Structure 1
Amino acid sequence: MIRFVVGEDGVWKVKEFIESHNHELDRPEDQHLLRSCRNISDENISVLKSMIEAGIRIVDAFTYLCDEAGGVENI
């Protein structure tokens, strides 16, 4: 595990490093599941909200949107 800080001078510095806290990196095809990699356009958010308000389950609405966009990476 590594944490950085950016100083007032714009230089990045290591704040914390714990070598024993380590694991494999996520596969590229799973990165969309990471909170830090989630980006969804305002238009898609609006569509999802409308579908949910119409009584469609969140997972079904999201799956539909992914299918229409050609994959989750396009959402």
Structure 2
Amino acid sequence: MKLSTSIRQYIGNFLLNRKLKRVSRRKEFNNLTSSKFVGILFNASDKDSHIYAKAFILDLEKRGLRVMSAGIADTALEIKEFP
């Protein structure tokens, strides 16, 4: 059983490395004036940072940008405070 698992893992790693050699990505730099979509990650544990993030999100949406945001909280109890 252990031999078959190690063989499958070896073959899987070999195939993955072979595919990774062919993968390329297009690198591109955008600022807020040329971007169409913005992602924001903020600390939701602090109520002030939540207020600033919300204001910034509203400002970006007024500019016509699509915005997706996520707040990270330390505990589940802190999430109940926010609407």
TM (normalized to structure 2)? 0.23
Higher relative contact order (CA 8 A, sep 6+): 2
TM (normalized to structure 1)? 0.24
For the pair shown, the structure with the greater C-alpha radius of gyration is 2
